[in-house]
Amino acid sequence: MGGTKLPYLMNESGYRISRKNLFTILRNNSLLVRGRKKQAVTTDSRHWIKKYPN
């Protein structure tokens, strides 16, 4: 369940809670999912320009 859908479903069920307060509760209970680490951008050697040896 995502951070967008969860507050919406809770409001439909009768629980009035803001997205910020919901995330605070989830963080305090260690229920937040950590984001993925971005992959480092490296050299693109598949180009049409001449490649010189080292």
The answer on pLDDT for 1 being more than 70 is no
| pLDDT for the residue numbered 11 | 86
41 near 53, Cβ under 8 Å? Answer: no
Give the three-class secondary structure for 53. Answer: coil
Condensed to tens digits (0 to 9), the pLDDT of residues 13-46 reads 888 888 889 889 889 999 888 888 899 988 888 8
- Report pTM: 0.53
Domain positions in the chain are 1-33
Residue with tokens 């809770």: 10
Distance CA 18, CA 11 (A): 9
